[in-house]
Amino acid sequence: MQYVSTRGHAAEQTFSEILLGGLAPDGGLYLPVHYPQVSGDELNAWRKLSYADLAFAVLSKFATDVPAADIKTITQKTYTADVYRNTRAGEDAAQITPLRVLEEGANGKLILQALSNGPTLAFKDMAMQLLGNLFEYTLAKQQAELNIFGATSGDTGSAAEYAMRGKQGIRVFMLSPHKKMSAFQTAQMFSLQDPNIFNIAVQGVFDDCQDMVKAVSNDLEYKARQKIGTVNSINWARVVAQVVYYFRGYLSATTANEQKVSFTVPSGNFGNICAGHIARMMGLPIDKLVVATNENDVLDEFFTTGIYRVRKSAETYHTTSPSMDISKASNFERFIYDLLDGDAVRVAALFKKVETQGGFDLSGKPGSDGDEFAKISQFGFVSGKSVHADRLNTIRQVKAKYGITIDTHTADGIKVAQEHLAPGVPMIVLETALPAKFNETIREALGHDAERPAGFENIEALPQRFEVMTADVNKMKAYISQHTGL
Protein backbone atom coordinates (compact mmCIF):
# COMPACT_ATOMS: atom_id res chain seq x y z
CA MET A 1 0.00 0.00 0.00
CA GLN A 2 1.44 3.33 -1.12
CA TYR A 3 0.44 6.80 0.09
CA VAL A 4 0.15 10.08 -1.80
CA SER A 5 -0.30 13.70 -0.77
CA THR A 6 -3.64 15.44 -1.20
CA ARG A 7 -1.70 18.23 -2.95
CA GLY A 8 0.04 15.94 -5.44
CA HIS A 9 3.67 17.00 -5.28
CA ALA A 10 5.10 14.50 -2.77
CA ALA A 11 6.54 11.15 -3.83
CA GLU A 12 4.61 7.98 -2.97
CA GLN A 13 5.51 6.60 0.46
CA THR A 14 4.90 3.43 2.50
CA PHE A 15 3.02 3.28 5.79
CA SER A 16 6.29 3.10 7.77
CA GLU A 17 7.74 6.06 5.88
CA ILE A 18 4.82 8.36 6.76
CA LEU A 19 4.23 7.00 10.27
CA LEU A 20 6.57 9.32 12.17
CA GLY A 21 5.76 12.46 10.21
CA GLY A 22 2.70 14.63 9.80
CA LEU A 23 2.18 16.82 6.78
CA ALA A 24 3.58 15.75 3.41
CA PRO A 25 6.52 17.87 2.18
CA ASP A 26 4.15 19.82 -0.11
CA GLY A 27 1.90 20.76 2.83
CA GLY A 28 -0.78 18.20 2.01
CA LEU A 29 -2.06 15.22 3.98
CA TYR A 30 -1.33 11.61 3.16
CA LEU A 31 -3.99 9.24 1.83
CA PRO A 32 -3.65 5.74 0.38
CA VAL A 33 -3.48 5.51 -3.41
CA HIS A 34 -6.75 3.57 -3.09
CA TYR A 35 -8.92 2.51 -0.17
CA PRO A 36 -8.65 -1.22 0.55
CA GLN A 37 -12.01 -2.94 0.22
CA VAL A 38 -13.66 -5.21 2.79
CA SER A 39 -15.76 -8.07 1.43
CA GLY A 40 -18.95 -9.50 2.90
CA ASP A 41 -17.09 -12.68 3.81
CA GLU A 42 -14.49 -10.65 5.69
CA LEU A 43 -17.17 -8.73 7.58
CA ASN A 44 -18.78 -12.02 8.62
CA ALA A 45 -15.42 -13.35 9.82
CA TRP A 46 -14.68 -10.11 11.66
CA ARG A 47 -17.91 -10.34 13.69
CA LYS A 48 -16.28 -13.04 15.84
CA LEU A 49 -13.01 -11.20 16.51
CA SER A 50 -11.80 -9.53 19.68
CA TYR A 51 -11.11 -5.80 19.41
CA ALA A 52 -7.35 -6.43 19.25
CA ASP A 53 -7.76 -8.94 16.42
CA LEU A 54 -10.13 -6.62 14.56
CA ALA A 55 -7.55 -3.83 14.86
CA PHE A 56 -4.96 -6.22 13.43
CA ALA A 57 -7.26 -7.08 10.50
CA VAL A 58 -7.95 -3.43 9.65
CA LEU A 59 -4.41 -2.17 10.19
CA SER A 60 -2.97 -4.98 8.07
CA LYS A 61 -4.78 -3.59 5.04
CA PHE A 62 -2.96 -0.27 5.40
CA ALA A 63 0.46 -1.21 6.85
CA THR A 64 1.44 -3.75 4.21
CA ASP A 65 5.15 -3.07 4.67
CA VAL A 66 5.11 -4.07 8.36
CA PRO A 67 5.43 -7.80 9.19
CA ALA A 68 2.01 -9.21 10.11
CA ALA A 69 3.38 -10.84 13.26
CA ASP A 70 4.67 -7.46 14.47
CA ILE A 71 1.33 -5.73 13.85
CA LYS A 72 -0.42 -8.52 15.75
CA THR A 73 1.95 -8.16 18.71
CA ILE A 74 1.36 -4.40 18.83
CA THR A 75 -2.46 -4.60 18.66
CA GLN A 76 -2.53 -7.36 21.30
CA LYS A 77 -0.37 -5.22 23.58
CA THR A 78 -2.52 -2.12 23.00
CA TYR A 79 -6.13 -3.25 23.25
CA THR A 80 -6.48 -4.95 26.61
CA ALA A 81 -9.08 -4.75 29.37
CA ASP A 82 -6.33 -3.53 31.69
CA VAL A 83 -5.60 -0.47 29.50
CA TYR A 84 -9.30 0.31 28.82
CA ARG A 85 -10.56 -0.30 32.32
CA ASN A 86 -12.46 2.91 33.15
CA THR A 87 -15.85 1.43 32.30
CA ARG A 88 -19.27 2.50 33.51
CA ALA A 89 -21.44 0.22 35.62
CA GLY A 90 -22.67 -2.67 33.50
CA GLU A 91 -20.00 -2.29 30.80
CA ASP A 92 -17.63 -5.13 29.94
CA ALA A 93 -14.02 -3.88 29.79
CA ALA A 94 -13.08 -6.78 27.51
CA GLN A 95 -15.36 -5.29 24.83
CA ILE A 96 -13.08 -2.19 24.74
CA THR A 97 -15.83 -0.09 23.03
CA PRO A 98 -19.15 -1.51 24.35
CA LEU A 99 -22.49 -0.33 22.96
CA ARG A 100 -25.38 0.87 25.10
CA VAL A 101 -28.88 1.12 23.57
CA LEU A 102 -30.40 4.35 24.86
CA GLU A 103 -33.69 4.23 23.03
CA GLU A 104 -35.56 2.01 20.61
CA GLY A 105 -38.86 3.31 19.27
CA ALA A 106 -40.87 4.22 16.21
CA ASN A 107 -38.46 7.03 15.32
CA GLY A 108 -35.41 4.79 15.37
CA LYS A 109 -32.77 3.24 17.58
CA LEU A 110 -30.28 5.44 19.46
CA ILE A 111 -27.04 3.79 20.63
CA LEU A 112 -24.03 5.14 22.53
CA GLN A 113 -20.62 3.64 21.74
CA ALA A 114 -18.25 3.93 24.71
CA LEU A 115 -14.86 5.18 23.53
CA SER A 116 -13.63 6.79 26.73
CA ASN A 117 -12.49 3.87 28.87
CA GLY A 118 -8.79 4.49 28.32
CA PRO A 119 -6.24 6.07 30.67
CA THR A 120 -7.22 9.72 29.96
CA LEU A 121 -11.00 9.13 29.78
CA ALA A 122 -11.35 10.35 26.18
CA PHE A 123 -11.78 8.74 22.76
CA LYS A 124 -8.31 9.95 21.75
CA ASP A 125 -6.88 7.04 23.80
CA MET A 126 -8.29 4.59 21.25
CA ALA A 127 -5.76 5.72 18.66
CA MET A 128 -3.04 7.26 20.79
CA GLN A 129 -2.21 4.10 22.74
CA LEU A 130 -1.67 2.29 19.43
CA LEU A 131 0.35 5.18 18.04
CA GLY A 132 2.65 5.17 21.07
CA ASN A 133 3.40 1.48 20.59
CA LEU A 134 3.84 1.88 16.81
CA PHE A 135 6.25 4.76 17.35
CA GLU A 136 8.31 2.87 19.91
CA TYR A 137 8.47 -0.20 17.62
CA THR A 138 9.54 1.83 14.57
CA LEU A 139 12.10 3.96 16.42
CA ALA A 140 13.69 0.85 17.93
CA LYS A 141 14.03 -0.73 14.48
CA GLN A 142 15.59 2.45 13.09
CA GLN A 143 17.66 3.17 16.23
CA ALA A 144 16.24 6.68 16.00
CA GLU A 145 14.57 9.29 18.17
CA LEU A 146 11.52 11.50 17.65
CA ASN A 147 10.38 14.89 18.92
CA ILE A 148 6.60 15.00 18.79
CA PHE A 149 5.21 18.48 18.24
CA GLY A 150 1.45 18.70 18.58
CA ALA A 151 -1.52 20.90 19.39
CA THR A 152 -4.54 20.13 21.51
CA SER A 153 -7.89 21.71 22.27
CA GLY A 154 -8.20 19.46 25.30
CA ASP A 155 -8.01 15.69 24.85
CA THR A 156 -5.35 14.96 22.22
CA GLY A 157 -2.63 16.38 24.46
CA SER A 158 -3.25 14.26 27.52
CA ALA A 159 -3.89 11.12 25.42
CA ALA A 160 -0.59 11.65 23.58
CA GLU A 161 1.37 12.40 26.73
CA TYR A 162 0.03 9.38 28.60
CA ALA A 163 0.80 7.18 25.58
CA MET A 164 4.33 8.54 25.13
CA ARG A 165 5.50 9.23 28.70
CA GLY A 166 8.66 7.31 29.50
CA LYS A 167 8.94 5.86 25.99
CA GLN A 168 12.49 5.41 24.77
CA GLY A 169 13.67 7.96 22.21
CA ILE A 170 10.53 10.14 22.32
CA ARG A 171 9.97 13.68 23.58
CA VAL A 172 6.57 15.42 23.45
CA PHE A 173 6.11 19.18 22.96
CA MET A 174 2.37 19.88 23.29
CA LEU A 175 0.71 23.23 22.63
CA SER A 176 -2.66 24.10 24.17
CA PRO A 177 -4.68 27.35 24.32
CA HIS A 178 -3.92 29.08 27.62
CA LYS A 179 -6.84 28.94 30.10
CA LYS A 180 -9.26 27.56 27.49
CA MET A 181 -9.47 23.91 28.59
CA SER A 182 -11.44 22.54 31.52
CA ALA A 183 -9.68 22.37 34.89
CA PHE A 184 -9.57 18.56 34.65
CA GLN A 185 -8.11 18.57 31.12
CA THR A 186 -5.49 21.12 32.14
CA ALA A 187 -4.50 19.14 35.23
CA GLN A 188 -4.24 15.87 33.28
CA MET A 189 -1.58 17.39 31.06
CA PHE A 190 0.23 19.88 33.25
CA SER A 191 0.55 17.60 36.29
CA LEU A 192 2.78 15.16 34.38
CA GLN A 193 6.34 15.42 35.65
CA ASP A 194 8.00 13.05 33.17
CA PRO A 195 11.20 14.62 31.79
CA ASN A 196 10.25 13.80 28.18
CA ILE A 197 6.98 15.80 28.39
CA PHE A 198 6.90 19.55 27.67
CA ASN A 199 3.61 21.47 27.98
CA ILE A 200 3.33 24.92 26.39
CA ALA A 201 0.25 27.07 27.07
CA VAL A 202 -0.17 29.42 24.10
CA GLN A 203 -1.77 32.83 24.49
CA GLY A 204 -4.48 32.37 21.85
CA VAL A 205 -6.97 29.76 20.64
CA PHE A 206 -6.50 26.20 19.36
CA ASP A 207 -6.21 27.34 15.75
CA ASP A 208 -3.16 29.45 16.72
CA CYS A 209 -1.56 26.31 18.19
CA GLN A 210 -2.46 24.24 15.13
CA ASP A 211 -1.08 26.90 12.77
CA MET A 212 2.27 26.74 14.56
CA VAL A 213 2.40 22.95 14.24
CA LYS A 214 1.76 23.28 10.51
CA ALA A 215 4.33 26.07 10.16
CA VAL A 216 7.02 23.94 11.81
CA SER A 217 6.01 20.91 9.71
CA ASN A 218 6.34 23.01 6.55
CA ASP A 219 9.89 24.08 7.48
CA LEU A 220 11.40 20.92 6.03
CA GLU A 221 15.01 21.67 7.00
CA TYR A 222 14.11 22.39 10.63
CA LYS A 223 11.73 19.43 10.76
CA ALA A 224 14.46 17.06 9.58
CA ARG A 225 17.15 18.48 11.85
CA GLN A 226 14.94 18.38 14.94
CA LYS A 227 13.39 15.00 14.02
CA ILE A 228 9.87 16.45 14.31
CA GLY A 229 6.83 14.18 14.16
CA THR A 230 3.20 14.67 15.08
CA VAL A 231 0.35 12.88 16.83
CA ASN A 232 -2.40 15.22 15.71
CA SER A 233 -4.99 13.71 13.41
CA ILE A 234 -2.97 14.91 10.43
CA ASN A 235 -0.96 11.75 11.26
CA TRP A 236 -2.35 9.02 9.02
CA ALA A 237 -1.76 6.15 11.47
CA ARG A 238 -3.91 7.85 14.07
CA VAL A 239 -6.84 8.15 11.68
CA VAL A 240 -6.48 4.49 10.67
CA ALA A 241 -6.59 3.44 14.33
CA GLN A 242 -9.91 5.26 14.63
CA VAL A 243 -11.34 3.41 11.63
CA VAL A 244 -11.35 0.25 13.74
CA TYR A 245 -14.09 1.32 16.15
CA TYR A 246 -16.47 2.12 13.29
CA PHE A 247 -16.16 -1.50 12.20
CA ARG A 248 -16.62 -2.67 15.80
CA GLY A 249 -19.67 -0.43 16.29
CA TYR A 250 -21.29 -1.65 13.10
CA LEU A 251 -20.57 -5.32 13.75
CA SER A 252 -21.87 -5.08 17.32
CA ALA A 253 -25.09 -3.28 16.30
CA THR A 254 -26.03 -5.59 13.40
CA THR A 255 -26.45 -9.28 12.69
CA ALA A 256 -26.19 -9.29 8.89
CA ASN A 257 -24.27 -7.31 6.28
CA GLU A 258 -27.48 -6.23 4.55
CA GLN A 259 -28.19 -3.96 7.52
CA LYS A 260 -26.97 -0.37 7.65
CA VAL A 261 -26.20 1.94 10.56
CA SER A 262 -25.53 5.66 10.87
CA PHE A 263 -22.95 7.37 13.07
CA THR A 264 -23.13 10.77 14.74
CA VAL A 265 -19.76 12.26 15.65
CA PRO A 266 -19.04 15.43 17.67
CA SER A 267 -16.65 17.20 15.32
CA GLY A 268 -14.09 19.97 15.49
CA ASN A 269 -10.94 18.99 13.62
CA PHE A 270 -12.74 16.43 11.39
CA GLY A 271 -10.33 13.61 12.29
CA ASN A 272 -12.81 11.36 14.10
CA ILE A 273 -15.50 11.50 11.45
CA CYS A 274 -12.87 11.32 8.69
CA ALA A 275 -12.15 7.82 10.01
CA GLY A 276 -15.85 7.02 9.52
CA HIS A 277 -15.66 8.33 5.97
CA ILE A 278 -12.69 6.03 5.33
CA ALA A 279 -14.57 3.04 6.79
CA ARG A 280 -17.51 3.83 4.50
CA MET A 281 -15.18 4.10 1.48
CA MET A 282 -13.80 0.67 2.42
CA GLY A 283 -17.29 -0.77 2.06
CA LEU A 284 -18.64 -0.65 5.61
CA PRO A 285 -22.46 -0.35 5.26
CA ILE A 286 -22.82 3.14 6.75
CA ASP A 287 -25.95 5.09 5.81
CA LYS A 288 -25.34 8.56 7.27
CA LEU A 289 -22.29 10.23 8.79
CA VAL A 290 -23.72 13.01 10.97
CA VAL A 291 -21.36 15.89 11.78
CA ALA A 292 -22.29 17.49 15.13
CA THR A 293 -20.73 20.88 15.82
CA ASN A 294 -20.93 23.33 18.68
CA GLU A 295 -21.12 27.13 18.38
CA ASN A 296 -18.01 26.95 16.20
CA ASP A 297 -20.08 25.71 13.28
CA VAL A 298 -17.69 25.93 10.31
CA LEU A 299 -18.34 22.30 9.36
CA ASP A 300 -22.10 22.53 9.78
CA GLU A 301 -22.08 25.57 7.52
CA PHE A 302 -20.18 23.65 4.83
CA PHE A 303 -22.40 20.57 4.94
CA THR A 304 -25.54 22.69 4.69
CA THR A 305 -24.35 25.30 2.15
CA GLY A 306 -21.18 24.09 0.42
CA ILE A 307 -19.27 27.10 1.74
CA TYR A 308 -16.16 26.50 3.86
CA ARG A 309 -15.46 29.71 5.78
CA VAL A 310 -12.83 29.53 8.51
CA ARG A 311 -13.07 31.97 11.41
CA LYS A 312 -10.33 34.18 12.76
CA SER A 313 -9.07 33.64 16.31
CA ALA A 314 -11.21 36.51 17.61
CA GLU A 315 -14.29 34.91 16.01
CA THR A 316 -13.72 31.49 17.60
CA TYR A 317 -15.97 30.94 20.60
CA HIS A 318 -14.72 29.53 23.90
CA THR A 319 -17.51 27.05 24.75
CA THR A 320 -18.44 24.38 27.26
CA SER A 321 -17.48 21.71 24.73
CA PRO A 322 -13.94 23.13 24.35
CA SER A 323 -12.37 20.23 22.44
CA MET A 324 -14.50 21.34 19.47
CA ASP A 325 -13.54 25.02 19.67
CA ILE A 326 -11.87 24.81 16.28
CA SER A 327 -12.48 26.91 13.20
CA LYS A 328 -9.98 25.38 10.77
CA ALA A 329 -10.49 21.62 10.50
CA SER A 330 -7.16 19.95 9.67
CA ASN A 331 -8.55 16.67 8.35
CA PHE A 332 -11.17 18.30 6.15
CA GLU A 333 -8.66 18.34 3.30
CA ARG A 334 -8.75 14.54 3.10
CA PHE A 335 -12.50 14.55 2.47
CA ILE A 336 -12.25 17.39 -0.06
CA TYR A 337 -9.64 15.33 -1.97
CA ASP A 338 -12.15 12.49 -2.25
CA LEU A 339 -15.02 14.87 -3.05
CA LEU A 340 -12.93 16.28 -5.92
CA ASP A 341 -12.12 12.76 -7.23
CA GLY A 342 -8.47 13.05 -6.29
CA ASP A 343 -7.80 16.27 -8.20
CA ALA A 344 -4.73 17.34 -6.21
CA VAL A 345 -4.21 20.53 -8.24
CA ARG A 346 -7.66 21.81 -7.29
CA VAL A 347 -7.23 20.72 -3.67
CA ALA A 348 -3.96 22.65 -3.42
CA ALA A 349 -5.62 25.72 -4.96
CA LEU A 350 -8.62 25.56 -2.62
CA PHE A 351 -6.52 25.27 0.52
CA LYS A 352 -4.22 28.03 -0.69
CA LYS A 353 -7.40 30.09 -0.88
CA VAL A 354 -8.19 29.11 2.73
CA GLU A 355 -4.86 30.62 3.77
CA THR A 356 -5.17 33.78 1.65
CA GLN A 357 -8.94 34.47 1.59
CA GLY A 358 -10.30 32.45 4.52
CA GLY A 359 -12.22 29.76 2.68
CA PHE A 360 -13.77 28.46 -0.52
CA ASP A 361 -17.19 27.88 -2.05
CA LEU A 362 -18.32 24.64 -3.69
CA SER A 363 -22.01 25.56 -3.73
CA GLY A 364 -22.19 25.79 -7.53
CA LYS A 365 -23.57 29.31 -7.40
CA PRO A 366 -22.25 31.96 -9.81
CA GLY A 367 -18.69 32.91 -8.87
CA SER A 368 -18.15 29.80 -6.72
CA ASP A 369 -15.08 27.55 -6.85
CA GLY A 370 -17.05 24.50 -7.99
CA ASP A 371 -20.35 22.63 -7.73
CA GLU A 372 -19.28 19.56 -5.74
CA PHE A 373 -21.72 20.37 -2.94
CA ALA A 374 -24.31 18.52 -5.03
CA LYS A 375 -22.27 15.31 -4.60
CA ILE A 376 -21.98 15.40 -0.81
CA SER A 377 -25.04 13.20 -0.27
CA GLN A 378 -23.22 10.40 -2.14
CA PHE A 379 -20.77 10.29 0.79
CA GLY A 380 -23.55 10.14 3.41
CA PHE A 381 -22.70 13.41 5.17
CA VAL A 382 -25.29 15.51 6.98
CA SER A 383 -24.82 17.86 9.92
CA GLY A 384 -26.28 19.81 12.80
CA LYS A 385 -25.37 22.24 15.57
CA SER A 386 -25.68 22.28 19.35
CA VAL A 387 -25.15 25.27 21.66
CA HIS A 388 -24.72 25.66 25.42
CA ALA A 389 -28.43 25.60 26.25
CA ASP A 390 -28.86 22.46 24.10
CA ARG A 391 -25.91 20.89 25.89
CA LEU A 392 -27.40 21.44 29.35
CA ASN A 393 -30.81 20.24 28.23
CA THR A 394 -29.40 17.07 26.64
CA ILE A 395 -27.29 16.22 29.71
CA ARG A 396 -30.39 16.55 31.89
CA GLN A 397 -32.56 14.61 29.44
CA VAL A 398 -30.11 11.70 29.14
CA LYS A 399 -29.70 11.52 32.92
CA ALA A 400 -33.48 11.53 33.49
CA LYS A 401 -34.42 9.09 30.70
CA TYR A 402 -31.48 6.69 30.66
CA GLY A 403 -29.84 7.10 34.05
CA ILE A 404 -26.37 7.98 32.78
CA THR A 405 -24.30 11.15 32.82
CA ILE A 406 -22.66 12.21 29.56
CA ASP A 407 -20.00 14.80 28.86
CA THR A 408 -20.63 18.05 27.01
CA HIS A 409 -19.33 16.93 23.60
CA THR A 410 -21.29 13.69 23.68
CA ALA A 411 -24.33 15.83 24.54
CA ASP A 412 -23.77 17.80 21.34
CA GLY A 413 -23.66 14.48 19.49
CA ILE A 414 -26.87 13.12 21.00
CA LYS A 415 -28.76 16.38 20.41
CA VAL A 416 -27.87 16.36 16.69
CA ALA A 417 -28.33 12.57 16.37
CA GLN A 418 -31.94 12.90 17.54
CA GLU A 419 -32.58 15.22 14.60
CA HIS A 420 -31.41 12.57 12.12
CA LEU A 421 -32.94 9.36 13.49
CA ALA A 422 -34.52 7.12 10.87
CA PRO A 423 -36.67 4.00 11.37
CA GLY A 424 -34.81 0.77 10.68
CA VAL A 425 -31.32 2.33 10.75
CA PRO A 426 -29.61 2.28 14.16
CA MET A 427 -27.90 5.57 15.03
CA ILE A 428 -24.62 5.14 16.89
CA VAL A 429 -23.34 8.21 18.73
CA LEU A 430 -19.61 8.14 19.38
CA GLU A 431 -18.91 9.03 23.00
CA THR A 432 -16.20 11.67 23.29
CA ALA A 433 -15.13 11.66 26.95
CA LEU A 434 -16.26 10.77 30.44
CA PRO A 435 -18.18 13.60 32.15
CA ALA A 436 -15.59 14.07 34.93
CA LYS A 437 -13.43 15.93 32.42
CA PHE A 438 -16.02 18.73 32.21
CA ASN A 439 -17.29 18.84 35.75
CA GLU A 440 -18.03 22.56 35.76
CA THR A 441 -20.78 22.11 33.16
CA ILE A 442 -22.05 18.86 34.68
CA ARG A 443 -22.54 20.71 37.97
CA GLU A 444 -24.38 23.49 36.12
CA ALA A 445 -26.65 20.98 34.37
CA LEU A 446 -27.34 18.50 37.18
CA GLY A 447 -26.51 20.35 40.39
CA HIS A 448 -23.88 17.82 41.49
CA ASP A 449 -20.40 16.65 40.54
CA ALA A 450 -19.73 13.99 37.93
CA GLU A 451 -18.52 10.64 39.18
CA ARG A 452 -14.77 10.15 38.88
CA PRO A 453 -12.98 6.88 38.16
CA ALA A 454 -10.52 5.75 40.80
CA GLY A 455 -7.21 7.59 40.71
CA PHE A 456 -8.59 10.91 39.45
CA GLU A 457 -10.13 12.18 42.70
CA ASN A 458 -7.86 15.20 43.33
CA ILE A 459 -6.07 15.65 40.04
CA GLU A 460 -6.58 19.45 39.97
CA ALA A 461 -4.62 19.77 43.24
CA LEU A 462 -1.46 18.16 41.84
CA PRO A 463 1.59 20.36 41.11
CA GLN A 464 1.62 21.59 37.51
CA ARG A 465 4.57 22.10 35.16
CA PHE A 466 4.11 24.19 32.00
CA GLU A 467 5.37 27.22 30.09
CA VAL A 468 3.22 30.15 28.90
CA MET A 469 4.27 31.47 25.48
CA THR A 470 2.97 33.77 22.75
CA ALA A 471 1.95 32.41 19.35
CA ASP A 472 5.39 33.05 17.88
CA VAL A 473 6.75 30.32 15.61
CA ASN A 474 10.38 31.44 15.87
CA LYS A 475 10.27 31.46 19.67
CA MET A 476 8.65 28.02 19.58
CA LYS A 477 11.41 26.66 17.35
CA ALA A 478 14.05 28.10 19.70
CA TYR A 479 12.31 26.46 22.68
CA ILE A 480 12.26 23.06 20.98
CA SER A 481 15.91 23.37 19.95
CA GLN A 482 16.90 24.35 23.48
CA HIS A 483 15.27 21.26 24.99
CA THR A 484 16.43 18.72 22.40
CA GLY A 485 20.02 19.86 22.08
CA LEU A 486 19.84 19.26 18.33
Pick the catalytic residue from 48, 61, 124, 288: 124
HEC per residue, the chain: CCEEECCCCCCCECHHHHHCCCCCCCCCCEEECCCCCCCHHHHHHHCCCCHHHHHHHHHHHHCCCCCHHHHHHHHHHHCCCCCCCCCCCCCCHHHCCCEEEEEEECCEEEEEECCCCCCCCECHHHHHHHHHHHHHHHHHHHCCCEEEEEECCCHHHHHHHHHHCCCCCEEEEEEEECCCCCHHHHHHHHCCCCCCEEEEEECCCHHHHHHHHHHHHHCHHHHHHCCEECCCCCCHHHHHHHHHHHHHHHHHHCCCCCCCEEEEEECCCCHHHHHHHHHHHCCCCEEEEEEEECCCCHHHHHHHHCEEECCCHHHCCCCCCHHHCCCCCCCHHHHHHHHCCCCHHHHHHHHHHHHHHCEEECCCCCCCCCCHHHHHHHHCEEEEECCHHHHHHHHHHHHHHHCCCCCHHHHHHHHHHHCCCECCECEEEECCECHHHHHHHHHHHHCCCCCCCCCCCCHHHCCCCCEEECCCHHHHHHHHHHHHCC
In the annotation, is 179 catalytic? no
Looking at the annotation, which residues are catalytic? Answer: 124
